[in-house]
Amino acid sequence: GLDQPTSGDIYVYGRAVHQLDDEAATAWRQKEVGFVFQSFGLLPTLSAYENVDLLLRIAGFPRRERQQRVMSCLQMVGLEKWMHHRPYELSGGQQQRIAIARAIANRPKVILADEATGELDSETAREILSLLKNIAHGEQVTILLASHDSLVDEYVDEVLHLVDGRIQYENGHVQAEATEQQAVPKPVDLLPSPVTETQPQILAPTFIDVLIAVIIGVGALSIYLRTLAPDILYGDSAEFQTLAYTLGVAHPTGYSMYMFMARLLGYLPIGTLAWRINLLSAVAAAGTVAGIFLLGCYVTKRRLAAVFGSFALLISYTFWSQAVIAEVYTVGTLWWVLVMLALWHWGQRPFARQGWLFTAALLGGLSLGLHLYSVLIAPAALFYFIRVVRERDDWRRLALMGIAGTAVGLGLFLLSFYAIDLRQSVTGYDYTAQYPSGTAWGVTAADMQTFWQRLYQSITAPQWQAAMFPGGLGFMASRFGFYLFRLLAFEFGLISIIAAVVGWRAIRHQNRQIAGFLLLGFLTILFLVINYEPGDKHIFYLPTYITLVVAAIAGFDRLLGRVEQWHWTRQPIGQTAVLLIFVLLIGQHFWPSRLGALADGKASFVTETYPYPVDDLAEPRRYAEAIANSLPDDAFVLMEWRTLYAVFYVTAVEQGRTGIEMAEPTPYRTEGHVQPPLVAQIEQDLQNGRSVFTDNRYDLAQYFNMQREQNGLFRLSLRE
């Protein structure tokens, strides 16, 4: 942009540079071009920080934005600790790093590097070339590097030889005169951007990180095992403990993949049968915590910051409470983490790692068999995919790979649901609730005659549709306020929330694809759950915790970077103090209850007794066995949802008494009224001489005689 060509045209990213006047060319260089010189070109009277800041001052950046960007650039080149040093106090390699930080400060599209290693020894030159390679990928910038050093060839994606001012190709052919050449819309990428194939991103897990993640996972598992529910539970947990062995269809959305995963753990030769199903939640939670550490490696170099993020999730109230009972939620969060890991790993080298895109899509397809909030990662995943491939002409091949993975995942989900549906186990939710009471939400037996009809009813959950979008803006505002209150009062320390906000801003400057993924993933779950009103609403927010702690890791990185500038933190005692302070702040006021839980050997901090009777964990078994042992082998029993499957577990799983059937008399949306299909079923059973019991009167007294039995149940009989 300084000289005009005597002939030919110059295009940079589609812009006709040769047509710019002096003022426009100057503005273009300030905004879109960075420069690295052989002799560094640093101002000797300015510190490293001030040298980088100067370019942003000239470009008119606001002060706060300048401060954040300068620190980000210095951290990127590893010289934040030398920010106050003058150039003459730095080595040649350090000076060139400062020059590189200055070159990328304004986020240029192109960096022109003239003999960037010319005044450096070979070892330092390798460090600078490696840094340039990583910056090209991490900052989405093309670097054109002019050099006589053959060492450069090892670090670049393409080498162009110049002979007498013309490009000479490998076959020896010399390029024709510039006037004969067509304009090229894009510059040659000597060092690849994030959508190229050859180089890994500057921030990514290493083998050592994987080992650390395994250690973190084992540690988390030991904590959750210490507090794991020992036996039968109530409600949904008892349902999963039962259906994992009988392979019946669970309440919407069916959870067929979860059932097969739980069934595999059911073969372990340790603990009670019920405990083994609880174990799946602990294993999935530990995997999630370990995965958070690996996700953190994509947004920070500081492993300690990633450890802090994993720790924040590990001790959060809702996550821990779901890790110690038979439930689908921690498996759902594990799925989020697995999809994110596969997708982000693919995004660094899209064509070289197409298998990882296939894996991420496959996991997404499978998620329909886990929990519906696992599926809601789709908008963020699609956004990430588009951001990665948007400038590729061959994006269709990648799209086909993603579609293929999704199709395979959906196929496996359908196969799992079909395998369970084929069994038609009477322990399934369709027999305990949908057939007897489905008329309350507009579903009759005619709507469940085929596999596809039953699949539709399970996925769409008609009984819960009325709970979606129950209010307007006022309702949404109140629920959002409750969400924020719960975050601070139960889930995370204030420092973690602050770190998440700071961290997301930092990620946005560093990797917009990941920043967009985190924000869209967070907002998708937040918006839908705010507008959904089930009894266990707070648990559905768990995926937002995944995005929050990943963002918080980047925030912890920034906070640790600030702390490390204090001289007293460079001593071992100072570092230990910093570690303890962060741990205490992350745990905030939760510490006494969490430590008490470890001492008690149970999640004693949990205040909800459904489905986890924390004060007496043996209560479900005592109650279930007392009822089960008093029932005849052909009994039909009506019980509230809380206790129904605890009894069903004992009769069907442990005692193998398959003649006993059960039903919930007044499921959600029946408004406390027993539905006509259930009344008809009871009448038919009584006419056939079958014993029918109920745990409460409900409104059955208007249809049948009821007599209290010694086991506390009512025996039903036909009226004369």
pLDDT in tens, 160-215: 777 766 776 544 444 434 333 333 333 333 333 333 333 333 578 999 999 999 99
More confident position, 165 or 560: 560
Kindly state whether residue 428 falls inside one of the protein's structural domains: no
Mean pLDDT score, 240-246: 97
Residues 573 and 638 in one domain: no
Residue 183 is predicted with a pLDDT of: 36
Mode of pairing for the β-strands spanning 33-36 and 110-114: parallel
Residues 562 and 704 in one domain: no
C-alpha triplet 653, 658, 661: angle, nearest 5°: 100
Residues 644 and 684 in one domain: yes
Measured in degrees and rounded to the nearest 5, phi and psi for residue 160 equal -115, 120
Model confidence at 260: pLDDT above 60: yes
Residues 220 and 153 in one domain: no
Kindly state whether residue 454 falls inside one of the protein's structural domains: no
| CATH number of the domain within which 155 lies | 3.40.50.300
Kindly state whether residue 693 falls inside one of the protein's structural domains: yes
Kindly state whether residue 242 falls inside one of the protein's structural domains: no
Mean pLDDT score, 376-397: 88
Residues 591 and 623 in one domain: no
Residue 119 is predicted with a pLDDT of: 64
What are the CA-CA distances from residue 328 to residues 277, 587, 648 (Å)? Answer: 10, 26, 20
Q: How many domains does the chain have?
A: 3
Sequence-separated (6 or more) residues with CB below 8 Å from residue 376: 524, 525, 528, 543
Residues 576 and 665 in one domain: no
Give the number of other CB atoms < 10 A from CB of residue 176: 10
More confident position, 629 or 609: 629
Mode of pairing for the β-strands spanning 161-163 and 166-168: antiparallel
Residues 546 and 653 in one domain: no
Residue 61 is predicted with a pLDDT of: 77
> Which amino acid is residue 24, in one-letter code?
A
Residue 50 is predicted with a pLDDT of: 87
Which among 298-302, 306-310, 387-391 has the top mean pLDDT? Answer: 306-310
Mean pLDDT score, 211-222: 98
Mean pLDDT score, 548-565: 92
Residues 564 and 498 in one domain: yes
What's the domain range around 143? 11-180
Q: Are 277 and 265 in contact (CB under 8 A)?
A: yes
Least confident of 146-150, 304-308, 491-495, 631-635: 146-150
Kindly state whether residue 464 falls inside one of the protein's structural domains: no
In angstroms, the CA 629 to CA 647 distance is: 10
3-state secondary structure (DSSP) of residue 11:
strand
Residues 579 and 626 in one domain: no
Residue 59 is predicted with a pLDDT of: 74
Pick from 116, 115, 75: nearest CA to 95: 116
Residues 577 and 685 in one domain: no
With bands split at pLDDT 50, 70 and 90, how would you rate the model's confidence at 355? very high
Among residues 180, 196, 216, which one ends one of the domains? 180
Quick one: 572 exposed, middle or buried, by C-beta within 10 A (0-12, 13-18, 19+)? exposed
Least confident of 24-33, 86-95, 308-317: 24-33
Residues 596 and 678 in one domain: no
Residue 110 is predicted with a pLDDT of: 84
Question: What DSSP string runs through 226-263?
Answer: HT---S--SHHHHHHHHHHHH----STT--HHHHHHHH
Residue 567 is predicted with a pLDDT of: 79
More confident position, 413 or 40: 413
End-to-end CA distance of the chain: 102
Return the CA Rg of the chain. Answer: 31
Model confidence at 102: pLDDT above 90: no
Retrieve residue 346's tokens. Answer: 């693919």
Kindly state whether residue 282 falls inside one of the protein's structural domains: yes
Give the number of other CB atoms < 10 A from CB of residue 460: 13
Among residues 600, 632, 661, which one ends one of the domains? 600
In angstroms, the CA 678 to CA 703 distance is: 11
Kindly state whether residue 430 falls inside one of the protein's structural domains: no
Rounded to 10 deg, the angle between the 48-59 and 63-76 helix axes is: 130
Model confidence at 527: pLDDT above 80: yes
Least confident of 32-46, 88-102, 402-416, 628-642: 32-46
Kindly state whether residue 244 falls inside one of the protein's structural domains: no
Residue 628 is predicted with a pLDDT of: 96
Residues 298 and 352 in one domain: yes
pTM of the model: 0.73
Q: What is the mean pLDDT of the chain?
A: 87
Among residues 549, 569, 600, which one ends one of the domains? 600
With bands split at pLDDT 50, 70 and 90, how would you rate the model's confidence at 626? very high
Residue 118 is predicted with a pLDDT of: 67
Model confidence at 281: pLDDT above 80: yes
Model confidence at 120: pLDDT above 80: no
